[in-house]
A and B are shown apart, each in its own frame.
Chain A
Amino acid sequence: MAWTINGVTIHVEEDSDWKWTPRIGEINVLDSTQTLIHHAGRPSYTRTLQFVVFSGYQENILTLPSGQVVPLVSDLGAQGNVTIKSVSAKRLLDISRNTGVYRCTMEIIKSGS
């Protein structure tokens, strides 16, 4: 099953899956061999996708980071609504197509709540 982001089909090559780094204050007491850990909440989940788009990169992918949340659907089902943190691409040589083929790297954020 193909992946889609905001309804646009993408062909995923690499997926970091959701990452989450809790917000931790490390408190070091003098002459101690221990560290006090202060949990100060947690940020949202983040994820990095690398995928290929065979057409419509500039029209459909590059325009996605608009400040809106968009739905992400993977081969495992709906992944929720995500905010796009960054997107970058390299154009690939493909003499079989008239359209621009791009390999994209996209960082996304999803609320941790």
Chain B
Amino acid sequence: MILYSDISINSNPVEILSVEVTEGHKQAAARITLELSDISGVELNHPITADFGYTSSHGNIFTGYIDAITETRMPGIYRLEGRDIVKRAMEHFIVTTDLENPWSRNNIPAENLVRDLLAEAGITNYSGDATSFTFGVSCPAEFNLIAAWDAVTQVCNILAYNCYAKNGTVYFKRVTPVPAETATKTLTIGNSGNILTEEYSRSTDNLRNKVVVFGRPPIYAERSIVSPHLPSGFYKTAIVSSELIDLQSMADSSAEYNLALYNKLTESVSIEIAGDYTVRARDTVEIIEPFLSMYGDKWFVFSVSHNLSERGYITRLNLTR
């Protein structure tokens, strides 16, 4: 299989020595790292797109901006690092000179609040799922002296929603790190397989069987459940706290959503496969591997990195369920 790469910076194709793209469920922005021997005409914050795979099959997996340029005199190699388009929201600070009238919205659905916050950073390619949550009901939802992305993250944490970029569009939707019913890819071993290495582990590191939500006083909600993976009567607690929670029903729902999200065993598989650009973060894959007693087990792609270099094309996955 002949490797293919078409990396463009500021719409100009560049020749690369290696490229790595990483993205993850809890990773705010996808990242790209490039090594190349010539950076003529390349400047910081130039737009960058990466399309790679094989000559027979390839696709775009990164759209963003250059963050940093590192130059090494000998042997004359440049390393570029970039983040996807949510970098704009991370670097846009919401500042109001009139402290009496900060940036605010009233009676606004959560998906529209996120839309407006992203628009402040110039991000307009946006797709937000309907939440049935309305902010600024009893008092305005205000943001000042905060990065647009941090404001979006506050909204996400309250609703157990996620915000991320994929192929140049920012999505706001609830994605729980559990596999879907249908896998988009099968990973297997043997002559027609693609698994190179694998490691399976399980722990209670991220398990939380109690969630406490604090809103605008005196709003408060609490949910808990007994976990078979913890000592009897033992609770590990997660806290959600925000002034944006201004209704009791909102606090109750937030506690229920987050308990469902956190009350589960942390199971993970680290796996390397022959390069496959179609595997993306938040996908569901199934594994067929007798050593791990997995015969079609489905896993959520928590993070993925695509590394293409002279050593070949390897995709590394961290899977959870």
The reply to whether B312 and A40 form a contact with Cβ atoms under 8 Å apart is yes
The distance in angstroms between the C-alpha atoms of A89 and B199, with both chains bound, is: 53
Question: Is B198 engaged at the interface, CB distance under 8 Å to the other chain?
Answer: yes
1/0 contact string of A21-35 vs chain B (CB within 8 Å)? 001111111111110
In the complex, A30→B289 CA distance in Å?
Answer: 10
| Residue from A28, A29, A39 whose CB has the most chain B CB atoms within 10 Å | A29
Min distance, Cβ A24 to any Cβ of chain B, angstroms: 8
Q: Chain B nearest CB: distance from A97 CB in Å?
A: 41
What CA separation (Å) do A32 and B282 show in the bound complex? 28
Contact B310 A37 (CB under 8 A): no
Contact yes or no, A38 B193, CB < 8 A: no
Given A37-B1, A38-B1, A39-B1, verify A31-B190 contact (CB < 8 Å). yes
The interface size of chain A toward B, counting residues with CB under 8 Å, comes to 18
Chain A residue at minimal CB-CB distance from B311: A25
Tell me how far the C-beta of A73 lies from the nearest C-beta in chain B, rounded to whole angstroms: 30
B314 and A31 form a contact (CB under 8 A): no
- Determine the distance from Cα of A32 to Cα of B2 in the docked complex, in whole angstroms: 21
A28: min CB distance to chain B, Å: 7
- Which residues 2-45 in A have Cβ within 8 Å of B in the complex? 23-34, 36-41
Which A residues lie within 8 Å of B274 (CB)?
Answer: 27, 29, 36
Residue of B nearest to A25 (CB): B312
Q: Is there contact, CB below 8 Å, between A40 and B309?
A: yes
Query: Could you tell me which residues of chain B, from 268 to 294, have a CB within 8 Å of some CB in chain A?
Result: 274-275, 289
- Chain B, interface residues (CB within 8 Å), range: 20 to 34
Question: Whole-angstrom distance from the CB of B32 to the nearest CB of chain A?
Answer: 18
Q: Mark B295-321, 1 if CB is under 8 A from A, else 0.
A: 000000000000011111110000000
> Do B1 and A32 touch (CB < 8 A)?
no
B96 to chain A, nearest CB (A): 52
CA of A42 to CA of B131, assembled, Å? 53
Q: Hey, which chain A residues are within 8 Å of B137, CB to CB?
A: none
Count chain A CB atoms within 10 A of each CB in B2, B312, B314 and give the residue with the most. Answer: B312
B residues with a Cβ closer than 8 A to A are 1-3, 189-191, 193-198, 274-275, 289, 308-314
By Cβ-Cβ distance, the 10 closest A-B pairs, closest first, are A25-B312, A38-B312, A30-B189, A31-B189, A39-B2, A40-B310, A25-B311, A32-B191, A23-B310, A29-B193
A-B CB contact pairs (8 Å), 24 listed: A25-B3, A25-B309, A25-B312, A25-B313, A27-B274, A27-B314, A29-B191, A29-B194, A29-B195, A30-B190, A30-B193, A30-B195, A30-B197, A30-B289, A31-B190, A34-B191, A36-B274, A36-B312, A37-B1, A38-B3, A38-B275, A38-B313, A40-B309, A40-B312
